[in-house]
Amino acid sequence: MQGKVVIITGASSGIGRALARECYLRGAKLSLGARRIDLLEALSLELQSKDILCTQTDVAKESDCKNLIELTLTKFGRIDVLINNAGISMRALFSEMDLDVMRRVMDVNFYGTVYCTKFALPYLLKSRGSVVGVISIAGYVGLPGRTAYSASKFAIRGFLDTLRIEYLKSGLHVLVAAPGFTASDVRKAALTADGTPQGETPRVEESMMSAENCAFRIAEAIRKRKRNLILTFIEGKFSVFLGKFFPSLLDILTYNHMAKEPSSPLKSPKV
């Protein structure tokens, strides 16, 4: 990544922030987008580089995504890597969830990826660069109580897999990265049934893969121009394997696993 221009959305915390540090250490020039501009500027100050652009960006807004790409081009003149990392989660039964929650999650996760990729694509084609979608194992396995989240991640995977085929002969690299449960703030900000933030994580964050480890693995996958990256063994690779060959068993195991969460919306086997 030495000297390459890398755009990272959702770079203010979690995996996005760790990706910014990882790419910086590899010599990249960074264009960072997030809603919380103060956290981006604090990160820029920490890294102490003139080759960092911070742009307040709500990826749910088409105009913000276009602005992020245009400002990147103005400062650096090219784009080599686009990492679509910005995302939001939710936690509620579909029957109890306001439909606005579905729209908000899709707007950030799916359409944010679509908007940024659309505006960056001509420049990524010119540089024979990489477009990356950070999804989740929820993009391979439907997680009960996370209908909107899983739907958005499946949608991103389908979108990027198709993009890869469309530009098969162009030199464009497309990576779909699927972390397992990773320590971050995403669960604290997850939307509940009425759209309010959850506030507290239902999981033991310390026991999960670190954001730094996740970022290193994603950066390596970009370097090697891999098409897919599935992280963690049990929750990741093994779950995908079961989904291919023993889908009914995976349904049962997934339900039981998610039902063990504190205050799980899966209230009883009758749900």
Q: How far from 173 is each of 23, 48, 71, 133, CA to CA, in Å? A: 17, 30, 23, 11
- In a domain, residue 84? The reply is yes
Using pLDDT thresholds of 50, 70 and 90, give the confidence band for residue 188.
confident
- In a domain, residue 140? The reply is yes
Write the Ramachandran bin of 211: left for phi over 0, alpha for psi from -120 to 50, otherwise beta: alpha
At 240, which amino acid appears? V
Q: 65 is in which domain, residue-wise?
A: 5-259
Q: Give the burial class of 265: count Cβ atoms within 10 A of its Cβ; 0-12 exposed, 13-18 middle, 19 or more buried.
A: buried
How far is residue 17's CA from residue 8's CA, in Å, rounded to a whole number? 9
Specify the 3-state DSSP secondary structure of 175.
strand
CATH number, residue 183: 3.40.50.720
Beta bridge partners of 166: none
Q: Is the dihedral of CA 236, 237, 243, 247 positive or negative?
A: negative
Among the ranges given (84-93, 139-148, 234-243), the one the predictor scored with the smallest mean pLDDT = 234-243
Average pLDDT of the chain? Answer: 93
Contacts of 245 (CB under 8 A, 6+ apart): none
- In a domain, residue 56? The reply is yes
Average pLDDT over residues 231-240: 87
Starting from the edge strand earliest in sequence, which strands make up the sheet with 5-9, in order? 52-56, 29-34, 5-9, 81-84, 130-134, 173-178, 228-230
- For residue 159, is pLDDT > 70? yes
- 24, 111, 115, 149: which is the annotated catalytic residue? 149
Q: Give the rounded percent of residues in the chain with a pLDDT score beyond 90.
A: 83
Beta bridge partners of 92: 146
Average pLDDT over residues 110-133: 98
Number of domains in the chain: 1
Average pLDDT over residues 6-27: 96
- In a domain, residue 23? The reply is yes
- In a domain, residue 46? The reply is yes
Please indicate whether residue 140 is annotated as part of the active site: no
- In a domain, residue 270? The reply is no
- For residue 46, is pLDDT > 90? yes
Q: Please give the distance of CA 64 from its chain centroid, rounded to a whole number.
A: 18
How far is residue 60's CA from residue 117's CA, in Å, rounded to a whole number? 13
pTM for the model stands at 0.91
Average pLDDT over residues 112-123: 98
CA-closest candidate to residue 262, choices 190, 210, 204: 204
* Residue matched to tokens 């604090």: 42
Contacts of 5 (CB under 8 A, 6+ apart): 28, 29, 31, 72, 76, 78, 79, 80, 81
Write the Ramachandran bin of 27: left for phi over 0, alpha for psi from -120 to 50, otherwise beta: left
- In a domain, residue 124? The reply is yes
- In a domain, residue 32? The reply is yes
Q: Please give the distance of CA 1 from its chain centroid, rounded to a whole number.
A: 20
